[in-house]
């Protein structure tokens, strides 16, 4: 019985650590992912965008997985929606 009483604070500490990790790391990451996904779903033709690799362009067309961009030189490039 005494061993059980000694484990209670340790178990409580572990539960608190897991909760802290969740609220400080996992939850904010999920929120950012959700916001990023919503942003990608709102992309429309004619909008000016910058890809994660630094390419500036105007959206020509949008499909499920890709976006066609018209860059300053007039060329069009197809990029993954996730970039």
Spell out the domain ranges in the chain.
1-42, 44-83
What pLDDT does 68 receive? 96
What pLDDT does 5 receive? 74
Provide CATH code, domain 44-83. Answer: 2.30.30
Provide block-wise average pLDDT over 10 residues at a time, the chain (83 residues): 74 93 92 91 92 93 93 94 76
pTM attached to this predicted model: 0.63
How far apart, in whole angstroms, are the C-alpha atoms of residue 20 and residue 35? 22
CB count in 10 Å sphere of residue 59: 16
Q: How far is CA 49 from CA 1, 31, 40, 80, 82, in A?
A: 64, 22, 11, 13, 13
CA 26 centroid distance within chain: 12
HEC per residue, 24-40: HHHHHHHHHHHHHHHHH
């Amino acid at each position: 019985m005494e061993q059980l009483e000694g484990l209670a604070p340790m178990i409580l500490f572990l539960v608190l650590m897991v909760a802290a990790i969740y609220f400080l790391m996992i939850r904010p990451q999920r929120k950012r992912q959700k916001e990023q996904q919503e942003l990608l779903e709102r992309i429309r033709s004619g909008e000016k965008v910058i890809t994660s690799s630094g390419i500036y362009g105007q959206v020509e067309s949008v499909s499920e997985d890709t976006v066609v961009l018209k860059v300053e030189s007039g060329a069009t490039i197809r990029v993954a929606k996730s970039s």
